[in-house]
Structure 1
């Protein structure tokens, strides 16, 4: 069954009708009527209690917003520049403090990634493994001005004697193509493997043969002070090659 459309017989008279029939526009209708009547009244200019026209209010608000938007920002106080951290006798090489232990996987991966990046530039690198010699960690804390009980994350990199940072800083510089500018002018690396240590960078102590003890006729057995806690010393061949 089809329904036929019928024309509505309701007519809306909109001839000069200033009022809105919808209740939701009542406030707007009243506001316009009051403001327009006062704005068009000849005595409005002399009235002291008049309310500003709605359009004047909009203009005032816009003027205030423009004033705040163009208001100059206060000058920020100059930041204090951090002191330059340098390492002595390292102007022609890279010095990296790292660990070769896999105790903390994230630290080991960071050290491995940074060493791989630095090795790709074929420049002299002084690798200081804190897991092989605890003295390197104390040395690093002294250079950075840290307390003895402070725990430092690894790796830490110095290029040309200047402190660069850790893994995040080195990787960011490498990805941005800026790291190669830091290594320009450094001494080239030895491409051959060291015949003394086989690339381990450490050898057994000659005085105690790695036992940390040596015998003296005057005082008997004594603790060896020439090697580290592991009875090792830095490979003389590798060490002199990167000085």
Structure 2
């Protein structure tokens, strides 16, 4: 027969609640407050992530606007000469490939580029160190309108984004033919020592020529001009 209904005694261990393991507990108001607190922390974390993303997006937009304004300023300036410092040596492959890439990009715009090969004249290296204020330099380096633009990576990014065209607008066009004096090499053989780096005088005998560089060359006056 079914047992009679009644209030369980305090010592009755046969009730369903007594059969439950100690690890299982019914939820209380304290547990609900804890859950709500966890949800508040999760929501705050999401809001912080959204805030960081928003700040990054605003910074990116500001940077793009600044670049556009700078490009417009450069386009309006009168002097848009392009000067490229590079090397033609193949000793370091990556440097040679970077220089070749930048030369190819700039020549593709068909504008005049003052290419300054540090291999041909070490004075270009001294000049570049003075402009950037650094002793350790990587090549290539590009200046437009007397302003430093960047190296290989910066030129590549500007070219891919289309911003490099804004920098170059207004630059003088490339010559239709090579320079008649140097044939486009930008250097001439020293007329004083004929490239031997030695001069002879009746009084002092042989001495080092002071008119040419370490290679016995002088810059072509029709091609090379100072950057400032």
TM-score normalised by length of structure 2: 0.72
Q: Which residue of 2 aligns with 1:136?
A: 124
Partner of 1:157: 142
**Shift in Å, 1:55:** 1.5
- 3-state DSSP of counterpart to 2:224: helix
Corresponding residue for residue 152 of structure 2: 167
User: Which of 231, 234, 240 in structure 1 is aligned with 2:216?
Assistant: 231
- Greater CA deviation, 193-202 or 225-234? 193-202
Counterparts in 2 of 1:57 and 1:188: CA distance versus 1, 3 Å: same
Shift of 1:195: 2.2
Bigger-Rg structure (1/2): 1
CA distance in 2, matches of 1:113, 1:20: 81
**Which residue of 1 is the match for residue 40 of structure 2?**
63
**For the Cα contact (< 8 Å) 1:133–1:230, is it kept in 2?**
yes
> Which of 167, 176, 180 matches 1:191?
176
CA distance in 2, matches of 1:22, 1:238: 96
- Whole-Å separation in 2 of the counterparts to 1:97 and 1:212: 25
3-state SS, counterpart of residue 203 of structure 1: strand
Distance, in Å, in 1 between the alignment partners of 2:18 and 2:199 is 108
The answer to which of 186-195 and 158-167 deviates more is 186-195
Q: How many residues align?
A: 188
Cα distance in 2 for residues equivalent to 1:121 and 1:18: 87
Aligned CA RMSD, in angstroms, stands at 3.0
More helix by share: 2
> 1:95-145, CA deviations, whole angstroms, 9 ceiling, x for partnerless residues?
011011111111111111100100111112111100111111111111110
Structure 2: tracts of 5 or more residues without a match: 1-14, 56-77
Deviation at 1:19, TM superposition (A): 5.8
Of 192-201 and 155-164, more deviation after overlay is shown by: 192-201
- 1:117 to 1:67, Cα distance in 2 relative to 1, 3 A: closer
Query: Displacement, 1:206?
Result: 0.8
The equivalent residue for 2:94 is: 106
Contact 1:93 1:123 (8 Å CA) reproduced: no
CA-CA distance at 1:193 after TM superposition: 1.3
Distance 1:31 1:98, change over 3 A: same
Is 1:177 equivalent to 2:172 in the alignment? no
- Scaled by the length of structure 1, the TM-score of the pair is 0.68
Aligned to 2:205: 220
Which position in structure 1 is the counterpart of 2:25? 30
Gaps of 5+ in 1: 1-16, 36-51, 76-89
Tell me the CA shift for residue 192 of structure 1. 0.3
The secondary structure found in structure 2 opposite 1:238 is coil
- Runs of 4+ deviating beyond 4 Å: 17-23, 67-73
